[in-house]
Amino acid sequence: MPTVVHIGDKLRAVRTRRLLTQEELAERAGVSPSTVVNIERDNREPHFRTIHKLAKALDVDPTELIGD
């Protein structure tokens, strides 16, 4: 059975530490603002490539978003 990954709280925490809005993060990562909103609300499980894009835009290792 596939593992469900909820990264909303961690993504929000890192984004706010970087003083970025959801729109700014979306632009940097090359994803839509609604993607960031839905991931932060845990309404959507992101693909690994999306996690990688977000992590790169935030200048963190992807494991910081999915760890624990």
Residue 34 token pair: 């609604």
Q: Indicate whether 67 pLDDT > 90.
A: no
**Is residue 1 scored above 60 in pLDDT?**
no
Mean pLDDT (whole number) for 22-33: 98
Q: E strands, 3-65, where? A: none
- Tell me how long the chain is: 68
**What's the maximum distance between 2 C-alpha atoms anywhere in the chain?**
37
Distance between CA 4 and CA 27 in Å, rounded?
A: 25
Mean pLDDT of the chain: 93
Neighbouring C-beta atoms of residue 36, cutoff 10 Å: 28
pLDDT reported for residue 6: 84
Full-model pTM: 0.90
Contact of 25 with 36, CB cutoff 8 Å: yes
